[in-house]
Structure 1
Amino acid sequence: MSENQSAPAQANPASIRFEDFGLSPEILRALADQGYVNPTPIQAQAIPVVLQGRDVMGAAQTGTGKTAGFSLPIIQLLLAHANSSASPARHPVRALILTPTRELADQVADNVKAYSRYTPLRSTVVFGGMDMAPQTAALRAGVEIVIATPGRLLDHVQQKTLNLSQTQILVMDEADRMLDMGFLPDLQRIINLLPKQRQNLMFSATFSPEIKKLANSFLSSPVTIEVARSNATNENVTQILYKVEEESKRRAVAHIIRERGLKQVIVFSNTKIGASRLARELEKQGLKASAIHGDKSQAERMAALESFKKGDVEILVATDVAARGLDIAELPCVINYDLPYNAEDYVHRIGRTGRAGASGDAISLVTEKDAKLLADIEKLIKKKLVPTELPGFVADAGHVSEGRSRREESRGSYGGERRPRRDEERGGRGAAAPLPRKEKIDPWFLKPYEPEKPAPVSALESSSAPTSAPAPASKAASSGKSQKPKLAALLGGLPKR
């Protein structure tokens, strides 16, 4: 494995046009429909290298057009095999694009379909959480480009509805997450299904040294393209940190949204239950909010995302399923309700705003317990972030209500009881408290103690009693009735007479 090579220096992207890459008229027409004329820096450097058939490891900030950087040259390369035949055999899978999340897969598929709309090439997307039947029908009809999440792709392979034996190009979008330990076993199984001779493309905003080392194990003499410092944040994004207490975070989010007049904002939470609770709390305060996380069905997630893009929902409370690759046009602000556990996710989260040259704000709420997470983020982005007080926000008013709410939830979880309210809460200051309720008392509990009468001595006890003590006459003997046989007789232990 040879050492990584860097991409050759390019001219100023502002002076380069898409038509300079030798793209087909069909692709240029589709780009014109999108209003694209000049490529972004990552596109200007990646497209020529991909067209040469080289392996690529591309790193660029989020919102810089990485999807077009690999999809446009792929479409151009596959045009040599394009045909209008109705036979599925004439449309084998020639390019596979893997993404870590369903939302990103759906978005990449939309871009590929838009760029190839005037070509005979077919594409489809497969991901979990949806019915497999429509996906199976599309695959069996024949497609050249498949965009997929690893798990659902393997499902189709197992069902024998997908064959990767003719795949020429493998793309891993958000490759750092694709190579995460959670995806690595599935990814290895997929790679084993592909031909040995193929082109490999990896694109992401963040590449740790460990990820680069792992990627080199299956990339062949890759060209490394970095249009900005690795793991850097977008300069168009203003990063703001506010110091708050844990009990006031929900109110702080509502305060920020109202004070700034935000009509479109993504709020990131670390947990699914936290995202749901925050969305409900914001809705109670009259804000249009919806939650999106892994416990929601794919239909619910896509519906929430579509409503957010249309503006029907103003606040999208999300876990990191929305942190990667989602392109929301002109999103002015993102809020980190929780600082992410993984510092790389911070770069991706705040990259949802300030895209395509626009400016944006990234606001993070920081508590005392977040010191370690904040230090990790500062180390990654090589920038000092100083938390300040949230202007106009009074935390004391919220401590009682929000803290009491959480305590009551906790007591309810463990079966505790609520504390009695004060007299003022019952009926105003000075109001007399109601008399305690009288309970009916069972007379049995008021009777004096009476010792139990001694029980009659059994036959077994009488046989084991000392001989000096006179045996009391039993009631059975006095009445002339025969006594019950002794226990020894029942066990066959009495001597024969």
Structure 2
Amino acid sequence: MSFKDLGLAEPLLKAVHDAGYDTPTPIQRQAIPAVLAGGDLLAGAQTGTGKTAGFTLPLLHRLAAGHARKDSKGRWAIRALVLTPTRELAAQVEESVRTYGKYLKLSSMVMFGGVGMQPQIDRLKRGVDILVATPGRLLDHHQQGTLDLSHVEVFVLDEADRMLDMGFIHDIKKVLAVLPREKQSLLFSATFSDDIKALAERLLNKPQVIEVARRNTTAETIAQKVIPVGRERKKELLAHLIKQNDWHQVLVFTRMKHGANRLTEFLNGCGISAMAIHGNKSQGARTKALAEFKSGELAVLVATDIAARGIDIDQLPHVVNYELPNVPEDYVHRIGRTGRAGAEGEAVSLVCVDEEGFLADIEKLIKQRIPRETVPGFQPDPNERPQPIQVGRRTLNGAPRGAHSAPRGGHGHAGHGSARDGRGGGHAPRQGQGQGQGRPATARTGTGNGRPGQGSGRPPRGR
């Protein structure tokens, strides 16, 4: 099957071809016709499956086939709203909108916290067809009366599971309260927990349900292994593995922001180029780290779970769990960043005795035992006893089986930061303050003039 078989308009097919894609992924094959049909959709898709194009392409098709309208203030009305949990993901989605919509007369904008509101207000005054936003900043604008959501025709809730993990359920309810009752709603989630099902019942009307791959499974192209190690020797072991194996482009996960900083300092001291990315980093630092990591200049990117949600890199060879997540589903999210599109990848977990309970939970979730492999010189002391694990203000006991997991809704993820920090969660690469492309009367085009944030048509990062 090709994209031509899915019923998309010719300008979209041309943009997809320009981006180098010919064959839709499984989620795209199912989601695109479902969205084009106009009904609500509940879609289960893990990171790296191509879900962003799965909703942006039919969204663009539907809006292009419809008619623009004016809002109460005489501006071009917002016709589609995409809500995402983090700044990075918002930027990534809006970039896809511009990439695939470059031959259409539709405009888009990305909106998130951490930057000034006035440039966003100025951009809204010029009219926007498609708004991609994080919840906190969107509600800030609504409360100040600077945007009108009463004409939204399509609403997309992306990475809904992460939204709930980050405590956005009340913000989501506030957004739903100001959206029109009559609209098409699309909910995408990596997992279908009871909370997600409850949210879907509230948001969706007789939705079509699609799910690619089995729930909470890991790709067969990912070689997983666990390396047992003493808690105090993890840093040395990681540096040893990177140097010994000549690893490049290694994405390393820690639970906490301060842990990411300490590990980065250690690796740099060992002559390994590393940078950290998390909620406390300035936008300039985050942009620099992401850009250098993607270009290959930076060997190691140390990230917390929330900050990593916007990282989309083709053929990322290595993911290392420096610390296991205390929520097992996050293991699947983490390692899903390697082994994409048929490429082989490797996921290595450095596990100390404190984390044996977390490991047991993960293996139960993915229904397989992860192979163990010891590294000579780094074997853990058999007499080492487990200690409680501190995550934010919470103390977790990761060792004893049966009494170690954090509650699903309240795990203290590294990278969450404050509520306002979580609402942004990241940074948009080279996208300024969401100053989308202008809307000249003669050409309401998504290509703009090439300035940052004005639809410059940069190549997409994967689907």
> CA shift at 1:357, angstroms?
1.9
- Identical amino acids, percent of aligned pairs: 52
- Give 1 or 2: higher helix fraction: 1
| C-alpha contact (below 8 Å) 2:253/2:303 kept by paired residues | yes
Which residue of structure 1 aligns with residue 404 of structure 2? none
Supply the distance in 1 between the matched residues of 2:6 and 2:127 (Cα, whole angstroms). 29
1:247 maps to what in 2? 232
* 1:349-390 deviation per Cα after TM superposition (whole angstroms, max 9, x unaligned): 101111122110111111111122112212221222243312
1:112-191 alignment runs, 5 A limit:
112-180=97-165, 182-191=167-176
Higher RCO (Cα < 8 Å, 6 or more apart) = 2
Confirm whether residue 38 of structure 1 aligns to residue 23 of structure 2: yes
Cα displacement string for residues 397-431 of structure 1 (whole angstroms, at most 9, x for unaligned residues)? 9xxxxxxxxxxxxxxxxxxxxxxxxxxxxxxxxxx
| 2:33 aligned to which of 28, 33, 48 | 48
Report SS of the residue matched to 1:179: helix
Give the equivalent residue in structure 1 for 2:256. 271
**CA–CA distance in 1 between the matches of 2:158 and 2:223?**
26
The answer to whether the aligner puts 1:354 opposite 2:339 as a matched pair is: yes
Once the 2 structures are TM-superposed, how far is the Cα of residue 181 of structure 1 from its aligned partner? Answer: 6.4
| Structure 1 pair 45–396 and aligned structure 2 pair: CA distance change class (3 A) | closer
- Equivalent position amino acid for 2:25 in 1: T
Cα distance in 2, alignment partners of residues 38 and 176 from structure 1: 28
Shift of 1:218: 2.2
Q: CA deviation at 1:157?
A: 1.3
Between 30-39 and 76-85, report the one with greater CA deviation. Answer: 76-85
Q: Does 1:29 align with 2:53?
A: no
Structure 1 partner of 2:434:
none
Which residue of 1 is the match for residue 77 of structure 2?
Answer: 92
Question: Quick check: 2:229–2:380 contact (8 Å CA) kept in 1?
Answer: no
For each residue in 1:141-164, what CA deviation from the matched residue of structure 2 results, as whole angstroms up to 9, or x when unmatched? 111111111011111112222111
1:393, distance to aligned residue in structure 2 (A): 4.2
Distance 1:76 1:393, change over 3 A: farther
Aligned residues: 380
Do the aligned residues in 2 keep the contact of 1:156 with 1:162 (CA within 8 Å)? yes
Amino acid of the structure 1 residue aligned with 2:139? L
Post-superposition shift, 1:82? 5.7
d(CA) in 2 for partners of 1:310 and 1:293?
19
Q: What does residue 418 of structure 1 align with?
A: none
Q: Does 2:314 align with 1:329?
A: yes
Distance 1:374 1:213 in 2: 29
Q: 2:192 and 2:69 mapped to 1: Cα distance?
A: 40
For residues 117 and 181 of structure 1, the distance between their equivalents in structure 2, rounded to whole angstroms, comes to 33
Structure 1 runs of 4+ aligned residues shifted over 6 Å read none
The match for 1:8 is none
For residues 147 and 140 of structure 1, what CA distance do their matches in structure 2 show? Answer: 16
**Match for residue 342 of structure 1 among 311, 316, 327:** 327
Instruction: Give 5+ residue unaligned stretches, structure 2.
Output: 382-463
Which position in structure 1 is the counterpart of 2:284? 299
Instruction: Find the aligned partners of 1:297 and 1:132 in 2 and give their Cα distance.
Output: 17
Rate the CA distance shift 1:106–1:393 in 2: closer, same or farther, 3 A: farther
Classify 1:91/1:193 alpha carbon distance in 2 versus 1 (closer, same or farther; 3 Å): same
User: Which of 229, 243, 247 pairs up with 1:262?
Assistant: 247
> What are the equivalent positions in structure 2 for 1:63-102 lying under 5 Å apart?
63-81=48-66, 89=74, 91-102=76-87
Q: 1:393 to 1:119 in 2, by over 3 A?
A: farther
* Correspondence 1:20 to 2:27: no
Distance 1:115 1:32 in 2: 10
Residue identity in the other structure for 2:368: K
Is the alpha carbon distance of 1:195 and 1:343 closer, same or farther for their aligned partners in structure 2, counting shifts above 3 Å? Answer: same
State the distance in 2 between where 1:73 and 1:179 align.
26
**Farther off after superposition, 313-322 or 203-212:** 203-212
Give per-residue Cα distances to partners, 1:174-212, cap 9 Å, x unaligned: 111223361011111001010011111111222223322
Q: Does the residue aligned with 1:324 lie in a helix, a strand or coil?
A: helix
Structure index of larger Rg: 1
Q: Secondary structure at the match of 1:216?
A: helix
- Aligned-CA RMSD value: 2.0
Deviation at residue 336 of structure 1 after TM alignment? 0.5
SS in 1 for 2:203: coil
What's the secondary structure of 2:331's corresponding residue?
Answer: helix
Residues 230 and 380 of structure 2 are in contact (CA less than 8 Å); yes or no, is this contact kept in structure 1? no
Q: Give 1:235 deviation, angstroms.
A: 1.4
Shift in Å at residue 90 of structure 1? Answer: 5.7
**Which consecutive residues of structure 1, in runs of 5 or more, have no partner in the other structure?**
1-15, 398-497
Instruction: Give the CA deviation at 1:171.
Output: 0.8
Matching residue within 343, 362, 367 for 1:382: 367
Q: Which amino acid aligns with 1:112?
A: V
Cα distance between partner residues in 1 of 2:246 and 2:172: 44
Q: Provide the rounded CA distance (Å) in 2 between the counterparts of 1:349 and 1:284.
A: 26
| Paired amino acid for 2:165 | D
1:313-348 alpha-carbon deviations (Å, 9 max, x no partner): 111001012442521122101100110111111111
Match of 2:351 in 1: 366
Deviation (angstroms), 1:125: 0.5
Please name the residue that 1:285 is paired with. Answer: 270
Query: Do 1:207 and 1:231's aligned partners in 2 also have CA atoms closer than 8 Å?
Result: no
Tell me the CA shift for residue 298 of structure 1.
2.6
TM-score when scaled to structure 1?
Answer: 0.73
